[in-house]
Amino acid sequence: MTQSFSELSLSPAIERAVAEMGYETMTPIQAQAIPVVLEGRDVMGAAQTGTGKTAAFTLPLLQRMLKHENASTSPARHPVRALVLLPTRELADQVADQVKLYAKYTNLRSTVVFGGMDMKPQTAELKKGVEVLVATPGRLLDHIEAKNCVLNQVEYVVLDEADRMLDIGFLPDLQRILSYLPKQRTTLLFSATFSPEIKRLANSYLQDPVTIEVARSNATASTVEQHFYRVEDDDKRGILKQILRERGLKQAFVFVNSKLGCARLARSLEREGLNTTALHGDKSQDERLKALDAFKSGAVDLLVCTDVAARGLDIKDVPAVFNFDIPFNAEDYVHRIGRTGRAGASGLAVSFVSGRDARLMGDLEKLLGKKLELEALEFEADRRPAGRFNDGQRAWQAPADDDTTERREARASRERPERTAAPGRPPARAPRAPADPLFDKPYEPSAASDAPPSWEVAQRATTRTASPNIKTRKKVPALFKSAPAPAPAPVPEES
Ligand code: AMP
């Protein structure tokens, strides 16, 4: 198998761009897919983000499109020839950035369109003419309907993260888009799994595809210090605060498994004086952007989030990640803790494990291929009687109307629209997909955030007012010694 980019006979313009990226050898998906795509074959690839799959399809597509390359300013000379469809704005943005870098020394143009943004600037870009169009399905249909782009010269289609596009309910949109494209084309489909739905999609739209499978890297970075603490559910919040203080952490991500749990935890931490914001699937696009911006700028210290809301977010180098809940899907653990300890920086990943988590921990051990040591933690229980006042703020006691709010949220989180095309009828336009978390800039610790984090301030206040009588030291026992039988598999609220 070819390993070096130089063996591919790519044009000097593309080779130069690859060399500038600093890539030395091809990743497995690149080594397998690039030669096949260069031959013009359809591909069904099992590969995920992080495997180098963007270059795996972009480089050969650019190479093949070079025969159309021209320096004309006329939009007609730059029709859309390659269409890359992705489920979220964030992913679309990421891929479009890479396409731009790889095409940097060619005259091939590219742009990206996605929802949640003003259509006008996107329209202006489209009207100038682009060879590579990266898009989310809903917004692309908006542009097609507005006649902002013509797709009758498309030669290549990439359905990237196809499983997620189906999860979100984009199938009808995809069917519609594909119906606008020339039948004679190369189609590449990438998906994390080959579920029956994905196979059906491939059977309908791919011709004699070459199947390529690349194992997902389940390795966690060695720079991340990982701890699994055996905790009681009721102690999680207190232990979280204790670790934040003891470690002198400035900011952290806190992952929970459900929208309801996320909202509830964020509210109670907020009530206890911690600078917290929540990010979950029931938040509007605007609220999610604000939450993210607040975290990125250092205006909030804790971002409590669910996997679905945080999926694909380009927030890296967070000093610490807490798994307040062990994720239902073991793979999400790798994804969650991948947000810390990047690029050689040290990071901290702390997971709270309760007796109910035996099955999930088993899954995680299987995925990571190693035994996970559970640690006991000395917890300074700090539970004062409800109703005490702390700096004028009522702490450790939920307001009376809390239940009503939570019940409302629980109801809302169960209301999910069905999105299926009626059999035998042309696919209807799908309802708009849930707002994507769309954030361009990577996380950068705020330079301005010299102020101590909220848990330190809260602790100082606590230390001043707490009576010595209410501080107990409690040894937490090792996990599963007397663990009850594993509970039945919980159903994630958001998936
Ligand atoms: P992707 O899976 O396409 O999102 O790529 C994940 C990351 O791997 C991106 O930051 C790429 O720049 C990087 N990458 C892609 N191909 C290579 C390669 N051959 N060698 C090193 N890094 C790569």
Tokens of 484: 């009850």
Give the ligand 1 atom nearest the CA of 53.
3
What DSSP line would sit under 196-236, residue for residue? HHHHHHHHHH-SSPEEEE-----PPPTTEEEEEEE--GGGH
Checking if the pLDDT of 46 tops 80, the result is yes
How far apart CA 70 and CA 416 sit, in angstroms, is 47
Q: How many CB atoms lie within 10 A of CB 178?
A: 21
Q: What is the dihedral of CA 121, 122, 126, 128, to 10 degrees?
A: 20
Nearest to 14 by CA among 49, 53, 62: 62
Provide residues with CB under 6 Å of ligand 1: 21, 23, 26-27, 30, 49-55
Residue 51 is classified by DSSP as: S
Element (H, E) at 100: helix 89-102
CATH 3.30.70.890, applies to 224-368:
no
Give the ligand 1 atom nearest the CA of 49.
2
- Say which range, 40-54, 80-94, 382-396, has the weakest mean pLDDT: 382-396
Pocket test for ligand 1, best of 20, 27, 134 (most atoms within 8 A of CB): 27
Nearest to 45 by CA among 173, 202, 175, 185: 202
pLDDT of residue 155: 98
Pocket test for ligand 1, best of 21, 26, 29, 49 (most atoms within 8 A of CB): 21
Pocket test for ligand 1, best of 54, 61, 314, 335 (most atoms within 8 A of CB): 54
Checking if the pLDDT of 204 tops 70, the result is yes
Greater model confidence, 332 or 39: 39
Checking if the pLDDT of 377 tops 90, the result is no
Crossing angle of helices 171-179 and 137-145, rounded to 10°: 40
Q: pLDDT tier at 343 (50, 70, 90 boundaries)? A: low
Greater model confidence, 447 or 152: 152
Ligand 1: distance of its center to the CA of 393 in Å?
A: 49
pLDDT of residue 93: 87
Q: pLDDT tier at 447 (50, 70, 90 boundaries)? A: very low
Give the ligand 1 atom nearest the CA of 25.
19
Checking if the pLDDT of 127 tops 70, the result is yes
| Largest separation between any pair of C-alpha atoms in the chain | 80
Give the ligand 1 atom nearest the CA of 23.
20
Helix-strand-coil percent breakdown of the chain, rounded to 5?
40, 15, 45
Checking if the pLDDT of 495 tops 70, the result is no
Element (H, E) at 322: strand 320-323
How far apart CA 11 and CA 59 sit, in angstroms, is 10
Q: Identify the residue whose C-alpha is closest to ligand 1 atom 5.
A: 52
How far apart CA 258 and CA 280 sit, in angstroms, is 8
Checking if the pLDDT of 298 tops 70, the result is yes
How far apart CA 292 and CA 277 sit, in angstroms, is 9
Tokens of 422: 């009626």
- Whole-prediction pTM: 0.58
Give the ligand 1 atom nearest the CA of 50.
2
How far apart CA 109 and CA 56 sit, in angstroms, is 19
Ligand 1: distance of its center to the CA of 255 in Å?
A: 26
Checking if the pLDDT of 7 tops 70, the result is yes
pLDDT of residue 95: 93
- Say which range, 314-318, 387-391, 469-473, 474-478, has the weakest mean pLDDT: 387-391
Checking if the pLDDT of 89 tops 60, the result is yes
Highest mean pLDDT among 16-30, 141-155, 286-300, 344-358: 141-155
Q: pLDDT tier at 222 (50, 70, 90 boundaries)? A: low
Ligand 1: distance of its center to the CA of 30 in Å?
A: 10
Q: What is the dihedral of CA 245, 246, 251, 252, to 10 degrees?
A: -110
Q: pLDDT tier at 455 (50, 70, 90 boundaries)? A: low
How far apart CA 43 and CA 96 sit, in angstroms, is 20
Nearest to 274 by CA among 254, 296, 297: 254
- Tell me the one-letter amino acid at 209: P
Q: Identify the residue whose C-alpha is closest to ligand 1 atom 20.
A: 23
Q: Identify the residue whose C-alpha is closest to ligand 1 atom 13.
A: 52
- Say which range, 58-62, 127-131, 252-256, 315-319, has the weakest mean pLDDT: 315-319
Ligand 1: distance of its center to the CA of 65 in Å?
A: 22
pLDDT of residue 340: 78
Ligand 1: distance of its center to the CA of 51 in Å?
A: 6
- Say which range, 285-289, 352-356, 439-443, 487-491, has the weakest mean pLDDT: 439-443
Q: How many CB atoms lie within 10 A of CB 369?
A: 8
CA 266 to chain centre: 20
Q: Where are the strands (E) in 256-317, listed by range?
A: 276-279, 302-305
How far apart CA 427 and CA 372 sit, in angstroms, is 48
Ligand 1: distance of its center to the CA of 55 in Å?
A: 7
The b-or-e profile of 33-53 (16+ CB within 10 A means b, else e) is bbbbbbeebbbbbbbbbebbb
Checking if the pLDDT of 408 tops 60, the result is no
Ligand 1: distance of its center to the CA of 23 in Å?
A: 8
Checking if the pLDDT of 1 tops 80, the result is no
- Say which range, 102-106, 257-261, 363-367, 411-415, has the weakest mean pLDDT: 411-415
Average pLDDT, the chain: 79
Q: In this prediction, what percent of the chain has a pLDDT beyond 90?
A: 51
Ligand 1: distance of its center to the CA of 487 in Å?
A: 40
Phi, psi (deg, nearest 5) at residue 333 = -60, -45
Give the CA distances from residue 346 to residues 103, 444, 493, in Å, rounded to whole numbers and listed in that order. Answer: 34, 15, 32
Q: pLDDT tier at 99 (50, 70, 90 boundaries)? A: very high
Phi, psi (deg, nearest 5) at residue 232 = -85, 145
Ligand 1: distance of its center to the CA of 50 in Å?
A: 6
Give the ligand 1 atom nearest the CA of 54.
3
Give the CA distances from residue 7 to residues 10, 34, 35, in Å, rounded to whole numbers and listed in that order. Answer: 8, 11, 10
The stretch 77-88 carries a mean pLDDT of: 96
How far apart CA 263 and CA 412 sit, in angstroms, is 13
Pocket test for ligand 1, best of 3, 23, 30 (most atoms within 8 A of CB): 23
How far apart CA 437 and CA 435 sit, in angstroms, is 7
Q: Identify the residue whose C-alpha is closest to ligand 1 atom 11.
A: 52
Ligand 1: distance of its center to the CA of 58 in Å?
A: 12
Ligand 1: distance of its center to the CA of 37 in Å?
A: 18
Checking if the pLDDT of 153 tops 80, the result is yes
pLDDT of residue 101: 97
Ligand 1: distance of its center to the CA of 52 in Å?
A: 4
Checking if the pLDDT of 200 tops 90, the result is yes
Q: Identify the residue whose C-alpha is closest to ligand 1 atom 16.
A: 52
Q: Identify the residue whose C-alpha is closest to ligand 1 atom 19.
A: 26
Provide CATH 3.40.50.300 ranges for the chain: 5-213, 224-368
Q: CATH number of the domain at 5-213, please?
A: 3.40.50.300
Ligand 1: distance of its center to the CA of 31 in Å?
A: 13
Q: In this prediction, what percent of the chain has a pLDDT beyond 70?
A: 71
